[in-house]
Amino acid sequence: MTLGIGVIGTGAIGQDHIRRVSRALSGGRIVALNDINADNARRAAQEWAPDAVICDTARDLVARPDVQAVMVTSWGGTHAEYVLDAIAAGKPVFCEKPLATNAADCLRIMEAEMARGRRLVQVGFNRRYDSGYLDLKAILDNGTIGDVLMVHAMHRNQRVGPNYKTEMAITDTLVHELDVHRWLLDDEYVSAQVIFPRRTSKALPHMRDPQIALLETKRGIRIDVEIFVNCQYGYDIQCAVVGELGQANLPDPPAVPVKTGETLSRHIMNDWKYRFIDAYDAEIQDFIDRASTGSPGGPDSWAGYAASVAADACVRAQESGRIEPIEMIAKPAFYSR
Ligand code: NAP
């Protein structure tokens, strides 16, 4: 069986997922597209999915009988509404991060999913599919470095555009880190603080960059994450986990070391699309495979909610300058099975 997929939002990552479903992966077919800007959708169809129908509204797309699963890749502020539409229609839905832009909307999504009685949502936390993070998690889980004490992490982008605001360092960027560290450590956050080092002159005037988020978990592990989105030299993701017996690092993506002119160098990527291309492929293939059976796997709505609660606290911490508590509801049994 080939899974008929409808995609809402045909911007950068929407087009990339349309391409991978159409050209790189198996078991799925893009049958419908919607974007607030219909020309975007038409261009994406022309390039990657010429048979796809262009729908006037996202709701029309979700309602189509040939759309058996939905991918939401539009702007973050629209995610909750479209995910709720897909759940109401009983269709599996892959939602790019964030699941919603606040924890209250994530709660509405969980309530709707639980009322449906089966899992329908997969959240686009692609790092859980990255071989480097999976290897790192295996090292932590098998106790090689003993009990974890600290994590030093770093998220650097070459530069960001004028629409990127100070808060987006949390809601758009740190949100990946907020998911991946609770998954890596199998722990939950209790508090967050955000501090601002000296501002780079390379950031646009409206933006405070870099920032450092300081998180504490229930087990007392301290995590510092540098977010520096105008670092100039490339896209660079680092994670060093320190335990009682040693340290484990996220490996850099492979690159050929070049020696020439008395210099040893290695290329650094400049784009998330290529840095995590294998992880995106694995993530979307997993969605196709599991959604074809009726229920997706991977990061669930609870993961989307947990990241969102932590992100809300970090945004409060950006404004207050204080240590802000991170408080979640008790985990519903539905998300523990
Ligand atoms: P983008 O290039 O701006 O694309 C978003 C698309 O959604 C645009 O075509 C936009 O149209 C359209 N759109 C806006 N409002 C809409 C609405 N109400 N209904 C339907 N379409 C609408 O952004 P992007 O980089 O692809 O990001 C999209 C989402 O993916 C974001 O949530 C982002 O955080 C996430 N993302 C995740 C990763 C990852 O690593 N997992 C990487 C990149 C992005 P207009 O251009 O006309 O506004």
Smallest Cα–Cα separation from 295: which of 118, 124, 160?
118
Q: What is the pLDDT of residue 306?
A: 98
pLDDT below 50 — which residues of the chain? none
Fill in the amino acid letter for 267.
Answer: H
Q: What is the pLDDT of residue 337?
A: 76
Other CB atoms within a 10 A radius of the CB of residue 250 amount to: 20
Residue 1's pLDDT is 83
- 2 within ligand 1 shell (Cβ under 6 A): no
Phi and psi (nearest 5°) for 250? -65, 125
Domain 144-268+307-335: CATH class, spelled out = alpha beta
pLDDT tens readout for residues 143-159: 999 999 999 999 999 99
Q: Which atom of ligand 1 is nearest to the CA of 74?
A: 7
Determine the distance separating the centroid of ligand 1 and the alpha carbon of 77, expressed in angstroms. Answer: 9
The sign one gets for the Cα dihedral 46, 50, 56, 59 is negative
Q: Which three-class secondary structure state does DSSP give residue 316? A: helix
* Residue with CA closest to ligand 1 atom 4: 11
Could you give the CA distance from residue 45 to residue 243 in angstroms, rounded to a whole number? 49
Q: Could you identify the atom of ligand 1 that is nearest to the CA of residue 37? A: 47
Residues 6+ apart with CB under 8 A from 197: 210, 211, 212
Q: What is the DSSP string of 69-134?
A: EEEE-S-GGGHHHHHHHHHHTT--EEEESPS-SSHHHHHHHHHHHHHHTS--EEEE-GGGG-HHHH
Residue 192 in contact with residue 314, Cβ under 8 Å?
yes
Pick the atom of ligand 1 nearest to 11's CA: 4
Would you state the pLDDT for residue 145?
98
What is the CATH number that goes with domain 3-127+277-300? 3.40.50.720
Name the DSSP letter for residue 220: -
**The model's pTM:** 0.96
Domain with CATH 3.40.50.720 in the chain: 3-127+277-300
Region(s) of the chain under CATH 3.30.360.10: 144-268+307-335
